[in-house]
Chains A and B, each alone.
Chain A
Amino acid sequence: MSAAVVIAGVGMHPFGRFDGASTTDMGVVAVRAALREASVGKGGFQAAFCGTAYGGVATGHKVLSRLGMTGMPIVDVEAGCASGGAALMLAAAAIRAGQYDTVLVFGTEKMPKGIIRSSFFDPWQEEAGLAATPSFFALRAQRLALTSGVTKDHLARVVVKNRRHGASNPDAMYQKETSVEEVLASRVVCEPLHLFMLCSPNEGAAALVLRREDPTSPAAPVTLAAAALRSHIPGPVLSESTPLAGLADDPVPAPTTLAATAAYEEAGVGPEDLHVVECQDTDAARELGSCEELGLCPPGGSAALLDSGATALGGRLPVNPSGGLLSKGEPLGASALGQVVELVRQLRGECGARQVEGARVALSHTVGRGANAGVVILTR
């Protein structure tokens, strides 16, 4: 059996809008905090992987140059919304393979304001109006309504739940609760999605220090049990691969399900063993779809799962106790690692008012353009 990988330290720069701070500035804050927690200094890690989608050339190098810590391999990783998950997978695999003992993984991002402009699309798709990210979210939401009985009220209640969770997260962009009435009073962006049902692209950074477990020293509390990344199998027209067409007969697993299946197998756990989940909630319907694709409920069962109260703090399986991306916002390269930082803190019991009591098995999930889906499982 290959070596266990433990998380020796975590750090965050809060998610939000910080006009005076550069991508590098935010990365420095998160990396410095993670290194300090892990008691790692210059020369203490043998490689670094940096998730970023909008950071530009050598984003990771710029952060580590500022800290005077270079010389090791530094690799920027872009995988859309799953960039941080991809960086984590590469780092963990390198440690398991015996290539390194200690690896720094971080993500830092400063997104343009408004609807995300993605170089993924050809210019003609933008010109034709076929590159509006919220329109794809809305079409998926409508299909979920038709297949899973999800109503606008369900969508609003996902937002209310996550914003309630986020109200006690000092790293979240929105730390204020909202109501079903307020969500439904916000303007319609793409029917059935209202403005409050969509997460805000924003800015922030997150960092982790991974280390091969040393059997001779006291065990670090949190183990990285799995980090899986998968792309899509073509067929579904609403796949995150954002094709222009698909098949009417499309019974292939979603990229999220592919990544989750791999992660469950790697960790030796199933969805029934989880105590807390951070999942992609770029829009309210996405959280419900994620629950189905991760196997947290049967296909078509996400509305009932929400109705049962299971996914709220205090429920059987809290989903997005950090407030999710609906509260935190989404800095692409940092969002997946932000989830992992939250879950490490949950497993350590450090989360105060949003603590999931007794959590020992945790799962994080991101999915986005490419398609790229990342699933991480942590245990203690």
Chain B
Amino acid sequence: MRVLVREGLFTDSDPPALHGSRCTACGKTHFPRSDACPYCAAEDPEPVELSRWGVLWAWTAVTAPPPGYKGEVPYGVGIVELPEGVRIIARLTEADPGALAEGQAMELVVVPLHRDDEGNDVVTYAFAGAP
């Protein structure tokens, strides 16, 4: 079966969704959800689902497996800016930095990471170039 790398961060649905919060005091949106707004410390921000579409702001690729990582290399890592004014750090499905460009349209997807000891496919959120 498929299991999320971390419960509560996103929904593994079609389409998928990232779970953020919006502060009712300052209006800023953040990810992941937290007990208080990281920007103004107001308590109990309201849960929201973030936009699935954004534009690429920065990107690279990891070429050697870092500690604690069991998936394949190379893999892409980047930052996508969403319309609600949030920049998200995420895996990218594109592992060739030369194939990406600043400002290009990106779409939220869910991708497999590795199979765990109990035979589950561990999945995480990522961004792919939008068609």
Contact = CB atoms under 8 A, between A and B. Distances in A.
Interface bin, chain B: 35 or more
Given A135-B77, A190-B62, A245-B86, A129 B67 contact: no
Given A124-B5, A190-B60, A190-B63, A248 B86 contact: yes
Contacts of A246: 86-87
Contacts of A123: 68
Contacts of A188: 63
Interface in A103-141: 114-115, 117, 121-124, 126-135, 138-139
Interface string B1-14: 00001100000000
Interface in A183-233: 187-192
B5 A128 contact: yes
Contact of B58 (A117, A139, A248): A139
A103 to B, nearest CB: 35
B78 interface: yes
A128 B9 CA distance: 12
B86 to A, nearest CB: 5
B31 A244 contact: yes
B38 to A, nearest CB: 5
A34 B124 CA distance: 51
A247 B85 contact: yes
Interface in B79-131: 79, 81, 85-91, 97, 102, 113-114, 122, 124
A142 interface: yes
A154 B6 CA distance: 39
Given A234-B39, A245-B86, A245-B87, A127 B122 contact: yes
Contact of B68 (A117, A192, A234, A245): A117
Contacts of B59: 139, 142
B30 interface: yes
B69 A146 contact: no
B60 A139 contact: yes
Contacts of A142: 58-60
Nearest to B40: A234
Nearest to B28: A247
Contacts of A36: none
Contacts of B61: 190-191
A134 to B, nearest CB: 7
A44 B71 CA distance: 54
B81 A248 contact: yes
Contact of A126 (B57, B68, B75): B68
Nearest to A127: B5
| B31, B58, B97, B124: most-surrounded residue (chain A CB, <10 A) | B58
Interface in A134-169: 134-135, 138-139, 142-143, 146
A295 interface: no
A135 B86 contact: no
B16 interface: no
B78 A139 contact: yes
Given A127-B5, A135-B62, A245-B87, A115 B122 contact: no
Contacts of B28: 247
Contact of B32 (A129, A139, A244, A249): A244
A29 interface: no
A199 B102 CA distance: 28
A237 interface: yes
Given A139-B59, A139-B79, A190-B61, A127 B89 contact: no
Interface in A168-190: 187-190
Contacts of B60: 135, 138-139, 142, 190-192
B15 interface: no
B73 to A, nearest CB: 8
A349 interface: no
Interface in B5-50: 5-6, 20, 28, 30-32, 38-39
Contacts of A235: 39
Nearest to A252: B39
Given A127-B68, A132-B77, A247-B86, A191 B97 contact: yes
A244 B89 contact: yes
In order of increasing CB-CB distance, the 8 nearest A-B pairs are: A126-B68, A117-B67, A132-B66, A138-B60, A124-B6, A245-B31, A237-B87, A191-B97
8 contacts: A117-B68, A126-B67, A132-B66, A190-B62, A237-B87, A243-B38, A245-B88, A246-B87
